[in-house]
Amino acid sequence: MSLETLLVRLLLLHETATGYTNLPVSGVLDHAQRYVGWIFELGKLRVLDPDSAQGLPSRGRIAGGYGAYFFGPPYPMYLLLEIPNIDDPTELRLAALFCDYLLSALYAAGHREELERQARYDWLTGLGNRRALERRLADSLPTGWGLAFLDLDNLKIVNDSQGHLAGDRLLQYFADSLRQSGFEAYRLGGDEFAVLLTKQQLEKLYRAIAGFQVSYGLAWAEEGDGMVLVTLADERMYEQKRRKKALH
């Protein structure tokens, strides 16, 4: 290989690396797969399930190419860079450098996606959080859809009498009931939850919350957009809570 050819390939490798910036994990892989054939003659990048890569080295030369294990986030995978002439020392060094850049880009993209995921989900229940709901309601709900604002009436009593671990379990059980019923549910904080649903799903919601002490309010798409629905449903939930207290 001439020095000029090597310099061109190194420039292509650098261009590939700079193109990874701010891409998601899927975009990083697509970008690498587009460029690999320009850098390596007959080169091909394959992404394998870890189970399919058992027995392969975590990083290094393998028969017909170069392999590297990516541990995530968001999920583990095995990167197989197929290069027919991997026995050539120059090709081996270029393959190692290609994988260095690719792994660094995947780690950056994966951790960025994980931080974004954590910013949208409630850590205790795994449901979407208030921020996720706000993003969801940025697009108007279709006619016939609405929002239920739910409040666990006895969470404070459980926390005070049985401890916060028991309160956390109550929140998790409630979230599981909503999730297992197939609802798009969110935890807004404390003892407050929101569910997006149609009018035809009301009976299913009542069944999902039947085993819990819950106050709720409903608001429908025809009554407003976005967080206006949350405010309306919240007000109606508190009105129901006041009526309950008046009966005791």
Give me the long-range contacts of 133-140 (CB less than 8 A, separation at least 24). Answer: 133/186, 133/188, 133/194, 133/230, 134/226, 134/227, 136/184, 136/186, 136/196, 137/225, 137/226, 137/227, 137/229, 137/230, 138/226, 140/221, 140/225, 140/226
Residue with tokens 């608001």: 219
Q: What's the whole-number average pLDDT of the chain?
A: 92
Ramachandran category for residue 65: left, alpha or beta (phi over 0 → left; psi -120 to 50 → alpha)? left
Share of the chain above pLDDT 70, in %: 99
Phi, psi of 170 (to 5 degrees): -60, -45
Q: What does the domain layout of the chain look like in residue ranges? A: 3-120, 130-247
The yes or no reply on domain 3-120 and CATH 3.40.50.150 is: no
3-class secondary structure per residue, 188-223: EECCEEEEEEEHHHHHHHHHHHCCCCEEEEEEEHHH
191 is catalytic: yes
Confidence category of residue 3, pLDDT binned at 50, 70, 90? confident
Q: Which of 8-12, 27-31, 159-163 shows the lowest per-residue confidence on average (mean pLDDT)?
A: 8-12
Instruction: Tell me the pLDDT tens digit for each residue of 118-155.
Output: 889 998 999 999 999 999 998 888 888 999 999 999 89
d(CA 159, CA 152): 12
Question: For 38, left (φ over 0), alpha (ψ -120 to 50), or beta?
Answer: alpha
Q: Across residues 59-70, what is the average pLDDT?
A: 94
pLDDT, average across residues 60-71: 94
Average pLDDT (223-229) is: 88
Q: What is the pTM of this model?
A: 0.65
* pLDDT of 203 strictly over 80: yes
Going by pLDDT thresholds of 50, 70 and 90, the confidence category of residue 4 is confident
What is the CATH code of the structural domain delimited by 130-247? 3.30.70.270
Distance CA 200, CA 244 (A): 26
- pLDDT digits over 237-248, tens only? 999 989 888 876
The arithmetic mean of pLDDT across residues 103-117, rounded, is 92
Residue 9 has pLDDT above 90, yes or no: no
* List 100, 139, 153, 191, catalytic entry: 191
